[in-house]
Amino acid sequence: MNPFLPKSKSDLLLWQVLVFIISVLGGLCSGSSLEINGGDGVAAPREFDYFKLALQWPGTVCPRSRHCCSSNACCRGSNAPTEFTIHGLWPDYNDGTWPACCTRSSFDRKEISTLLDPLEKYWPSLSCGSPSKCYGGKGSFWGHEWEKHGTCSSPVVRDEYNYFLTTLNVYFKYNVTRVLNEAGYVPSNSEKYPLGGIVSAIENAFHATPSLACSNGAVKELYLCFNKDFKPRDCAVRSSLQSEIFSQSSCPTYVSLPAHVSLGLEDDRTAVAWLPDNEIL
Ligand code: 5GP
């Protein structure tokens, strides 16, 4: 008899908990840049399974932004974003983990010089913070997304320009803000909407189930998932034991979609501290 096989129900439970802990630790590791292919003899992470388009809701993210600077779109006054903006296009594994920082290809702003206008508008940073780069130091929001996630998108997306162009194209094709508006889910600082209604509106439009993340009952992020050919697919991927544990999303049954109250208006820079451009938080 195999000594490693569970013999009773309680053994089985213990076994499942151990498997779960190991897979969660695996996820943390891959998500925290340990699966690096730096050309230093470290094995390349295996090819990803699907893409997750992560969108952020400025009405929820911006009020948590405590500083203003020229790169923070929350501080654009009446030009601040009022639709879901792009967080990133993330290659993920079906087991709920993901590869990160897959090559040493560092971000080069010149490569995307022809995309800057749409990127500023639809993929802006919503904070002044500089996210950490894969190999130390701090970088721009776009640099972080390319180095952490974009470099793992091969063989579907092979270079920086195509990573940003592809992401913009997918974002335009699957316009979540428009779908929600048409279903009556409009930005509001007083309404609460059924989470199930929001999910159904997107399912009806795109024929796939999204996932959402909330902060204090307000939608903070919304994720659309795609096969490698960019056909929509469901986002839920957890194994059975994990799904029991993760079935409680960070969103309550009724959620809000706050309207953005502009920070650091051009004529009222006292509302929130403005930082010089070169100041790193
Ligand atoms: P947060 O802690 O804000 O949920 O996630 C922090 C960072 O972890 C994100 O900006 C993103 O880089 C990464 N991350 C979080 N969830 C996922 C996921 O499901 N897939 C991938 N690929 N990255 C994720």
Q: What is the pLDDT of residues 111-127, one digit of tens each?
A: 999 999 999 999 999 99
Residue of minimum CA distance from atom 7 in ligand 1: 31
Left, alpha or beta for 264 (phi > 0: left; psi -120 to 50: alpha)? left
Q: Let me know the angle formed at the C-alpha of 218 by 215 and 224, rounded to the nearest 5 degrees.
A: 85
Distance 270 CA to ligand 1 centre (A): 33
**Mean pLDDT, to the nearest integer, of 133-162?**
96
Residue 93, token pair as written in the block: 């594994």
| pLDDT exceeds 50 at position 12 | no
Distance 133 CA to ligand 1 centre (A): 14
Predicted local confidence at residue 19, as pLDDT: 39
What H or E segment, with its residue span, contains residue 255?
strand 254-255
| pLDDT exceeds 90 at position 41 | no
Cβ contacts of 233-239, under 8 Å, gap ≥ 24 = 233/50, 233/208, 234/208, 234/209, 235/52, 235/208, 235/209, 235/210, 235/211, 236/209, 236/211, 237/50, 237/92, 237/93, 237/94, 237/95, 237/96, 238/95, 238/96, 239/23, 239/95, 239/96
**Mean pLDDT, to the nearest integer, of 253-277?**
72
Distance 97 CA to ligand 1 centre (A): 10
Distance 151 CA to ligand 1 centre (A): 15
In the structure, which protein residues have their CB atom closer than 6 angstroms to any atom of ligand 1? 31, 52, 90, 92, 98, 148-149
Residue of minimum CA distance from atom 5 in ligand 1: 31
Q: Which residue has better confidence, 50 or 15?
A: 50
Q: What is the DSSP-derived secondary structure letter of residue 152?
A: G
Contact assessment for residue 96 and residue 27, using Cβ atoms and an 8 Å cutoff: yes
Contact assessment for residue 262 and residue 78, using Cβ atoms and an 8 Å cutoff: yes
Mutate to test the pocket of ligand 1, among 32, 55, 85, 98 (most ligand atoms within 8 A of CB): 98
Predicted model pTM: 0.82
What is d(CA 116, CA 213) in angstroms, rounded to the nearest whole number? 28
Q: Among the atoms of ligand 1, which is closest to the Cα of residue 91? A: 22
pLDDT digits (tens, 9 = 90+) for 201-219: 999 999 999 999 999 999 9
